[in-house]
Structure 1
Amino acid sequence: MTGRLLSRGMIAGISAALLAFVFARFFGEPQVNLAIAFESAKDLAAGDPPEPEIISRGIQASFGLLTAAVMYGAAYGGIFATIFAFAYGRVGRFSPRALSALLAAAAFVVFVLVPDLKYPPNPPAVGLPSTIGLRTGAYFGMIALSLCAAAASYMV
């Protein structure tokens, strides 16, 4: 049963990733291109040399974005299916649909909503470059704190 759930979870994650890819391609990439143009103009005005392009933007915006989205979708779908398989029958008397909705809502609150309220994730170009490590650590620390608080509240 767990193997079937895992494969179905991964397929669902890949399906969601394909939708996310289409959205990111048409709505996200134009904004990324504007940000790159802004940073390039700022660097040019400051007299800094342009950074070398290791991987072209065309590859990043197409095959790279698709590959990353599909890999993350498969991973998150597999993780969700594994957690569902563990929780089913152990967490109340919920139907499979209700349990999956409850787990998805709990994951959203724990991993997205609570950490974003305190430390929203910033792209590296926002803020001081010397604080990237500190901001990243604070954000992941907030995720860990949120996860611990959720586990404690479940135990209570």
Structure 2
Amino acid sequence: MSDNSTPVQAPTPLPLLPVLGRGVLAGGAAGLVTGLFALLLAEPLMDKAIVAEEKRAAAEEAAAGHVHAAEEELFTRGTQHFGLVVTAVVVGLAVGVFFALVHAAVHRGRPAEGDGPWRRALLLAGAGFLALSLLPGLRYPANPPGVGDGGTVSERQALWVAALAVGVLGTVLAWQVQLRLARAGFGAPVRHTAAAGAVVLTVVALFLLPSNPDPVPVAPTLLWDFRVLSLAGHAVLWACLGGVFGALGLGRTSKTG
């Protein structure tokens, strides 16, 4: 007796090279936009912070009876501004490759029907912003350049890496909670509430980490503006990365569909 049933084929994994190409293009575009954003909005605040830090150092030396000698700049501010944009593009390219690899790993063997490349890219970009920018930034917000004791650099770097690890683990936990509850048949309100609870626990864990060991001798208004613009720069990076990556995926889908 012959069996006329059609065998079920396993989903074909996404080809890695096209995904990496999308990541490189999206990362380069995101880096360029982020660099221009920082150049036009954040750099004026950084210039103010540098001037404030120089005045503070000069005042401390004068109080100690030393004569403050102005240091000659190795690179002009114009050269530094150009380097800022170039660095942002390089960072964007690296983040784009990382984003593409994570995207391929998360969605390997899963067909795109129901949640197409646009939605997938935006969700992953949102998760990246949450895990690597927002959550660590809540515990250790960005400080202007030149702020902090040089002797505590290693300690501050270790604390930042720990915050990144906690942010990533917390985001993965929220995703797994959402995924497992969906498989168990729970509705969206339960799933979203449970995922939000995992994020809240992550914030609590972050604030169990030690505080920044150095004071921040910067005017509160300037410090607040700098931190808001720094976080906004991260948001621009992830939003542009997810948007371009998703749009490129839509173009590829329309050609192969």
**Which TM bucket (shorter chain)?**
0.7 to 0.9
**Aligned amino acid, residue 103 of structure 1:** L
Q: Distance in 2 between matches of 1:86 and 1:17?
A: 23
1:67-103 deviation line (CA, Å, top 9, x unaligned): 1011011111111112112222457963222221221
The answer as to 2:146 corresponding to 1:125 is yes
**Aligned twin of 1:79:** 98
1:55-76 deviation line (CA, Å, top 9, x unaligned): 22221112x1121011011111
Q: Which structure features the higher share of helix residues?
A: 1
Map 1:25-40 onto structure 2 (within 5 A). 25-40=39-54
**Aligned amino acid, residue 22 of structure 2:** R
Q: CA deviation at 1:50?
A: 2.9
Q: 1:122 to 1:135 in 2, by over 3 A?
A: farther
**Aligned twin of 1:100:** 121
1:55 to 75, 78, 86: 75
Q: Distance in 2 between matches of 1:141 and 1:125?
A: 22
Seq. identity, %? 32
Q: Which has the larger radius of gyration?
A: 2
**Aligned twin of 2:248:** none
TM-score of the superposed pair, with normalisation by structure 1: 0.82
In structure 2, runs of 5+ residues without a counterpart are: 1-14, 62-66, 178-257
Query: Aligned pairs, how many?
Result: 155
**Aligned twin of 2:30:** 16
Root mean square deviation of aligned Cα: 2.4
**Aligned amino acid, residue 85 of structure 1:** A
Q: 1:137 to 1:91 in 2, by over 3 A?
A: farther
Q: Which has the higher contact order (CA 8 A, sep 6+)?
A: 2
TM-score of the superposed pair, with normalisation by structure 2: 0.53
SS at the partner of 1:94? coil
